Amino acid sequence: MDFARQQRDPTRHMVGIAFVILVHALVIWALLTGLGQKVIEVVKKPMTAQIIEEIRPPPPPPPPPPPPPKKIIEPPKVIEQPYVPPPEIPPPAPVAPPVIANVAPTPPPEPVVIAPPPPVVIAPPAPPPKPAIRQGVSCTKKDAPTFPREALRANIQKGKVNAILTIDEQGNVADVKITASEPPRVFDRAVRDTLVEWKCVGEGAKYQASVEINFTLKD
């Protein structure tokens, strides 16, 4: 039987039609019974896909470093030195025997006479320095001041005045300074006018002396 006759065989067409009808009938039955809806829901579920990575073996360790090159130690070179003959040593000269001379004995030294030290002259002690202001003074002319009339009018019967005199190189009174007076300023002028006329001992240099003048009214 050739291919054209097989295509025209009605039996083959009937089998195909019956299979198609059976498939449609199963689909309609599944829709009616709800089995098709379950199949759709199962198909709608999300599908999870896992990617399985390939497990790679660890990389091999690095190769060890090459060993250092070996140092070649050369043996030290021996330098041959030329032969030097030893120096010729002359024979020792004959030593003359020592000559012993007669040494005269040295006389003993004369004793040294130590002279006594000169006597120590002790200078007399220096006089003590004079004070800057002396207490009292030696004068060849030393008049007493008169009782002032102002004191008589004021009924003052006594008083006291302390003064410092400045005496020049010739013994003249160059200055009179009143340091205290009792009663104040009553007897100052009479004391100053009188002490300026005093003539004291000159010492070749200026010096100062303190004096005290007392006033007493006599009957």
What are residue 211's DSSP bridge partners?
A: 163
Q: What is the pLDDT of residues 145-198, one digit of tens each?
A: 999 998 888 899 899 999 999 999 999 999 999 999 999 989 999 999 999 999
- Cα separation of 30 and 37, whole Å? 8
Residues of the chain with pLDDT under 50: 1
pLDDT at position 93 is 72
Residue 200 CA: distances (Å) to CA of 48, 110, 135, 203: 148, 70, 14, 10
- Cα separation of 188 and 182, whole Å? 9
Is residue 201 classed as helix, strand or coil in its secondary structure?
coil
- Output the six-digit token pair for 185: 């300023």
pLDDT at position 19 is 82
* pTM for this model (two decimals): 0.41
Element holding 14 (H helix, E strand): helix 10-33
- Cα separation of 187 and 149, whole Å? 10
Query: CA 129, 142, 192, 205 torsion: positive or negative?
Result: negative
Please calculate the CA angle 134-140-144 and round it to the nearest 5 degrees.
80
pLDDT at position 115 is 73
pLDDT at position 1 is 47
